[in-house]
Amino acid sequence: MKTINKYILVLGLIALVGCSNDYLNTEPVTELTENNFYQTPEDAWTALVGCYDGLQVATGSNAEGFYTISEVMSDDCFGGTGNSDGFGYQAMDEFDFNRAPGSANLLAGAWKTYYAAMNRCNVLISKMDQINWSGNEDLRNQYESEVKFIRAYLYFDMVRIWGNIPLLTVSTAENLPQADPSEVYTLIAEDLLFAANNLPNQTYNSVPNGRVTRWAAKSLLARVYLYYTGYYGQSDLAGLVTQGEALAHLEDVIAFSGHGLVSNFSNLWPAASLTEYAGEDNQEVVFSIKYTHTSDYDGNTDGNHWMVMFGMREFSSFPYGNGWGVTVNSKLYDLYNENDTRRTSTIIAVEEDDIPFDNQAGQREYTGYYNKKYTPMVDEEGSSLAVLVGGTNFMIGQFQDYFAIRYSDVLLMAAELGSGSAQAYFNQVRQRAYGDNFTPLTVNQTNLMNERHLEFALEGIRYWDLLRQGVSVAAAEIAESTTLLNGGVETPKNITSGNIQTTQGLSQIPNTQITLSAGVLQQNAGWQ
Amino acid sequence: MTNEEFLQDKLNWLNYFKLRASWGQVGNQNAGAFQYLTRIRTANTNYIFGTEEGTLTPGAYPYNLSNPNLQWETAEEIDLGFDARFFNSKLNVNFDWYRKEQKDWLVQAPILDTAGAEAPWINGGSVINTGVELALSYNNRVNDDFSYNVSFNGAYNKNEVGSIPTGDGIIHGPINQLWDNSLEFFRAEEGHPLGYFWGYETAGVFQTQEQVNNYVSDSGTMIMPTAVPGDLIFVDRNGDGIITEADKTEIGDPNPDFTYGFSLGANYKAWDFSLQANGVAGNQIVQSYRNQSGAYQNWTTQILDRWHGPGSSNTLPRVTLDNRNYNKFSDIYVKDGDFLRLSTVTLGFDIAKASKRKNFFADQLRLYFSVLNLYTFTNYDGMDPEVGFGISEGSYNFSSGVDLGYYPRPRTYMMGLNVKF
């Protein structure tokens, strides 16, 4: 036998016996996988940031997301938008699918990104035991609290928007039916209680702005309590939190968090205060979702993509930038007393502020009023501030944070829940608003709800404050029959209370998801 | 077989006959590496803490769902056929019967958004193509001056999807394809052709309010209570008295039943002529040229013949600002795609041959004129029935027959000169 043949034979034998199964089933060494990630506290931190990012994308990347629908469906805003646009915003505004029969997937982006964020949270929570925490048990409690807060925040948005949603606590591709809302609220309450009890008892500024604090968890818990007991007519929060307990959490926030009111209401809002702006980390911000200008079209989604919806329609006038023109109901402007500093901080008033707006032709449902709390801005030359700080453009580059919970909300919620200091808390909020023109008003439920409207208008809160007083109260407040200018032409505008009663104030579940579920998911009433 | 003893030189009209049979399997693993694992993604995953705009903290998240059972896709083919030549090899015949089965089809089928991650690659079932192919050609040299050839080939194909191992036995097509917010309009489902069109069946256009009022279910309720004259009549297929997604059905098949082609060629003295043509029959095309999400996009002139009063049109519904008749995918978008195209015609004249001079400076000096895409015989009213296009998203390669109004192929005239020394 030739030598070469012997070599071939030997090599062949090696080849036959040399490959074990382990060798063939390789795992990537350069790529992170579920198996080699989630090992150390550092991995847990990175995954937690991924959950914050998920929250940012879910709430920020969709023009039609939680904030937008909260305003468009409320009594404060009309659908507006461009006079040649589709009628999707009118369908939301009027609770009427027939208004835009093509809008079968109005909130598809929100549905997808909320569940995407949810999966990040569920996976991290399920990996908590797999991570080696030795010596860092405190860190585990903190991270687990933060991720549970984020999960609760996501579910609370979703269960308010859609009412009937599949409830997932672990990562799964299963085709799940919608859960009873009480089950969703049970999970929300459990997660928030965990966070409220396990996050460090330290002042809010001990951690960087944006991180979840004990005080954020306690405040959100009270908001959930008020919504669940109100909308569903229950006496407590899923058997887990009583009114007294919800109040006690708020009193803790008031006593120990270090939060306080910013002295001028207008300083909370960049467009209302300009150089006087109190900043995104001001003492009044109990929890905010943070956005920045680094969104691009290569996959980075860090910006506030809904704010452009609220700018004046394709018209800018320093300091107000152009946008797509969701309009504000003139009734909101008229609601404010002229001594109330919140009026000019909340609303851009074209006529009253002498703004030379001339794009009636492009604007649908023109009212003469726009949102000042969340509006794109321009400099004196008319250049977009978002672009000037480095944003891709004025649409995705908006970087203003969403103030989800302000300290004044903590005060008013505590007053509503029957605090012994209710009158003092109520006065504190009103004194800030009226300054030297303050005149006292007795705290009671009617005055409180009215004050909440004035204080939180255009902050994504009003609609839910209406619904938690009962669907019929909300329907009566939101129903509208008026005349608005569509492209400069007077056009009747009707929002019927019947549609709000039919839908119970809930939104359309994306029809594509219903198709994919083969009918396991059920569409909400009024949106078929 | 003509080499076998029992046939050799026995039949003077049969010059050659060969039987063929083959079976083969080919694998395909075009799914990317490590799809059986859940990968962690860090790219584009950031959050901003603190107040310094643009300062990002990196994060990570599980990107896809894993599928530990992922395996190769296999294409299996059985082929039976024969090749034969008749009449002094003037007539050539090739015939084949085949059955191709694509098994364990690799596809990234869409999953419910509640899963919260990218869909896993799955082995998505099977697709079966069965058919026959026939090719005939006839060459004849009449004399030194004149010869011609005629050939024809045709294939009959039947395409059917076998079992699909997803929850509902369907691989759903993507959304937002025909216009903004458009729903799924094609899918792969067991027992149906691959990528069949899925939508509402219509029964004309309501001409009068009376007709709307009389369009009632078995229990006497109006099926389309909000319709007005000029709106499409959607067929309530499941008879539940309302029009819902459950009434959608197969309204078209993008796969041709029959594809064919033929060519003619002739030489007479110094002249030469050739013609090639190809065509398909039995397929449907989805024609969608307009974004139906807004009111101001352009229509084609076809819309001038829409419904605009009783008796004006029973096929094209009225036009509204909200496009309510057009933004539901229905059979008004589906057209027959049969066509026959004269793809190439060439006429040539060889001056070298015509001159008959022995010492002509070139062996060939051929002047020719040819037309590509000369004419298309079709009833299709779009720009080009040979769309050859589908919605393709990498993992979605099973769609075809969608005409989104891309630029049609041009007709080309060519003149040329061949010189050979």
Cα separation, A313 vs A358, whole angstroms: 10
Task: Output the CA angle A272-A273-A277, nearest 5 degrees.
Answer: 130
A292: left (phi over 0), alpha (psi -120 to 50) or beta: beta
What per-residue confidence (pLDDT) applies to B16? Answer: 87
Q: Are B276 and B283 in contact (CB under 8 A)?
A: no
Q: Which residue has the higher pLDDT, A14 or A366?
A: A366
Candidates A56, A103, A210; nearest CB to B181: A103
Chain A residues closer than 8 Å to B42 by CB: 32, 46
- B409 band by pLDDT with thresholds 50, 70 and 90: confident
Candidates B34, B61, B292; nearest CB to A31: B34
Mean per-residue pLDDT for A443-447?
97
Mean per-residue pLDDT for A476-498?
96
Q: Is the pLDDT of residue B234 over 80?
A: yes
What per-residue confidence (pLDDT) applies to B124? Answer: 81
Q: Are B90 and B138 in contact (CB under 8 A)?
A: yes
Chain B residue at shortest CA distance from A170: B115
Q: Which residue has the higher pLDDT, B412 or B352?
A: B412
Candidates B43, B113, B182; nearest CB to A112: B113
Mean per-residue pLDDT for B289-315?
89
Chain A residue at shortest CA distance from B292: A102
Chain B residue at shortest CA distance from A101: B324
Candidates A56, A86, A518; nearest CB to B167: A518
Q: Are B288 and B403 in contact (CB under 8 A)?
A: yes
Mean per-residue pLDDT for B225-242?
92
Q: Is the pLDDT of residue A391 over 80?
A: yes
Chain A residue at shortest CA distance from B323: A102
Do the Cβ atoms of B293 and A102 come within 8 Å? yes
Chain A: give the shortest CA distance to residue B18, in Å: 41
Q: Which residue has the higher pLDDT, B170 or B3?
A: B170
The one-letter code for the residue type at A252 is D
Mean per-residue pLDDT for B172-199?
88
pLDDT 10s digits, B350-389: 888 888 777 778 888 899 999 999 999 999 988 888 876 6
Burial class (CB in 10 A: 0-12, 13-18, 19+), A323: buried
Mean per-residue pLDDT for A189-197?
98
- At A8, list the tokens: 């071939």
Nearest C-alpha neighbor of A56 from the set B65, B44, B40, B119 = B44
**Residues 6+ positions from A402 with CB-CB distance below 8 Å:** A59, A60, A67, A288, A289, A291, A304, A374, A460
The one-letter code for the residue type at B327 is N
Mutate to test the interface with B, among A31, A53, A126 (most CBs of B within 10 A): A53
Minimum mean pLDDT among A282-286, B295-299, B352-356: which range? B352-356
pLDDT 10s digits, B189-227: 988 998 999 999 999 999 999 999 999 998 889 999 989
Q: Is the pLDDT of residue A438 over 60?
A: yes
Chain B: give the shortest CA distance to residue A416, in Å: 32
pLDDT over 70 for what percent of chain B? 96
Mean per-residue pLDDT for B97-126?
88
Candidates B116, B175, B292; nearest CB to A118: B116
The one-letter code for the residue type at B165 is P
Q: Is the pLDDT of residue A375 over 80?
A: yes
Chain A: give the shortest CA distance to residue B246, in Å: 9
- B393 band by pLDDT with thresholds 50, 70 and 90: low
Rg of chain A taking only CA atoms, in angstroms: 26
What per-residue confidence (pLDDT) applies to A23? Answer: 52
Q: Is the pLDDT of residue A24 over 60?
A: no
Do the Cβ atoms of B50 and A281 come within 8 Å? yes
Cα separation, B28 vs B106, whole angstroms: 8
Mean pLDDT over each residue of chain A, to the nearest integer: 94
What per-residue confidence (pLDDT) applies to B269? Answer: 86
What per-residue confidence (pLDDT) applies to A26? Answer: 62
Nearest C-alpha neighbor of B400 from the set B194, B151, B140, B245 = B194
Candidates A37, A108, A116; nearest CB to B116: A116
Do the Cβ atoms of A102 and B324 come within 8 Å? yes
- A18 band by pLDDT with thresholds 50, 70 and 90: low
Q: Are A413 and A215 in contact (CB under 8 A)?
A: no
Task: Output the CA angle B228-B179-B290, nearest 5 degrees.
Answer: 70
What per-residue confidence (pLDDT) applies to B246? Answer: 87
pLDDT over 90 for what percent of chain A? 89
Do the Cβ atoms of A528 and B183 come within 8 Å? no
Cα separation, A327 vs A365, whole angstroms: 7
Do the Cβ atoms of A32 and B40 come within 8 Å? yes
Mutate to test the interface with A, among B108, B112, B226 (most CBs of A within 10 A): B112
Chain A: give the shortest CA distance to residue B251, in Å: 17
What per-residue confidence (pLDDT) applies to B399? Answer: 83
Nearest C-alpha neighbor of B135 from the set B99, B77, B78, B82 = B82
What per-residue confidence (pLDDT) applies to B163? Answer: 82
Mean per-residue pLDDT for A424-433?
97
In chain A, what is the greatest distance between 2 CA atoms, to the nearest angstrom?
A: 111
Do the Cβ atoms of A513 and B292 come within 8 Å? no
Do the Cβ atoms of B60 and A118 come within 8 Å? no
Do the Cβ atoms of B245 and A280 come within 8 Å? no
Q: Which residue has the higher pLDDT, B244 or A4?
A: B244
Cα separation, B117 vs A465, whole angstroms: 33
What per-residue confidence (pLDDT) applies to B215? Answer: 94
Do the Cβ atoms of B117 and A54 come within 8 Å? no
Q: Which residue bears the tokens 């006959």?
A: B17
Q: Is the pLDDT of residue A431 over 80?
A: yes
What per-residue confidence (pLDDT) applies to B357? Answer: 73
Mean pLDDT over each residue of chain B, to the nearest integer: 88
Cα separation, A121 vs A114, whole angstroms: 11
pLDDT 10s digits, A27-74: 666 778 888 899 999 999 999 999 999 999 999 999 999 999 999 999
Q: Is the pLDDT of residue A22 over 80?
A: no
What per-residue confidence (pLDDT) applies to A180? Answer: 97
Do the Cβ atoms of A116 and B117 come within 8 Å? yes
Mean per-residue pLDDT for B64-74?
86
Chain A residues closer than 8 Å to B112 by CB: 173, 175, 513, 516-517
Cα separation, A41 vs A139, whole angstroms: 8
- A102 band by pLDDT with thresholds 50, 70 and 90: confident
**Residues 6+ positions from A135 with CB-CB distance below 8 Å:** none
For CA atoms A224, A434, A203, A253, the dihedral sign is: negative
Candidates A102, A166, A209; nearest CB to B327: A102
Chain A: give the shortest CA distance to residue B66, in Å: 10
Q: Are B199 and B185 in contact (CB under 8 A)?
A: yes
Q: Are A491 and A485 in contact (CB under 8 A)?
A: yes
Q: Are B316 and B302 in contact (CB under 8 A)?
A: yes
Mean per-residue pLDDT for A215-223?
98
Do the Cβ atoms of B115 and A512 come within 8 Å? no
Minimum mean pLDDT among A13-27, A355-369, B137-151: which range? A13-27
Do the Cβ atoms of A512 and B184 come within 8 Å? yes
Chain A residues closer than 8 Å to B46 by CB: 49, 53, 294, 300, 302
Q: Is the pLDDT of residue A383 over 60?
A: yes
Element (H, E) at A356: none
Mean per-residue pLDDT for A459-469?
98
Candidates A47, A168, A389; nearest CB to B61: A47
The strand pairing partners of A494, in sequence order, are: A481
**Residues 6+ positions from A3 with CB-CB distance below 8 Å:** none
Chain B residue at shortest CA distance from A297: B44
Do the Cβ atoms of B116 and A35 come within 8 Å? no
The helix/strand/coil state of A427 is helix
The one-letter code for the residue type at A50 is G
Element (H, E) at B377: strand B364-378
Chain B: give the shortest CA distance to residue A307, in Å: 17
Cα separation, B193 vs B161, whole angstroms: 6
Please report how the helices A137-162 and A41-60 are oriented relative to each other, as an axis angle in degrees rounded to 10.
20
Chain A residues closer than 8 Å to B58 by CB: 46, 49
What per-residue confidence (pLDDT) applies to A2? Answer: 61
Q: Any idea what DSSP says for residue A50?
A: H
Do the Cβ atoms of B116 and A211 come within 8 Å? no
Q: Is the pLDDT of residue A19 over 60?
A: no
Do the Cβ atoms of A300 and B61 come within 8 Å? no
Do the Cβ atoms of A49 and B57 come within 8 Å? yes
Chain B: give the shortest CA distance to residue A119, in Å: 5
B345: left (phi over 0), alpha (psi -120 to 50) or beta: beta
Helical spans, DSSP H, in A207-315: 214-231, 243-256, 270-273
What per-residue confidence (pLDDT) applies to A12? Answer: 63
Chain B residues closer than 8 Å to A287 by CB: none
Chain B residues closer than 8 Å to A159 by CB: none
Mean per-residue pLDDT for A87-115?
92
Chain B: give the shortest CA distance to residue A337, in Å: 34
Q: How many CB pairs under 8 A join A and B?
A: 206
**Residues 6+ positions from A377 with CB-CB distance below 8 Å:** A270, A271, A319, A320, A321, A384, A385, A386
Mutate to test the interface with B, among A45, A46, A528 (most CBs of B within 10 A): A46
Chain A residue at shortest CA distance from B296: A84
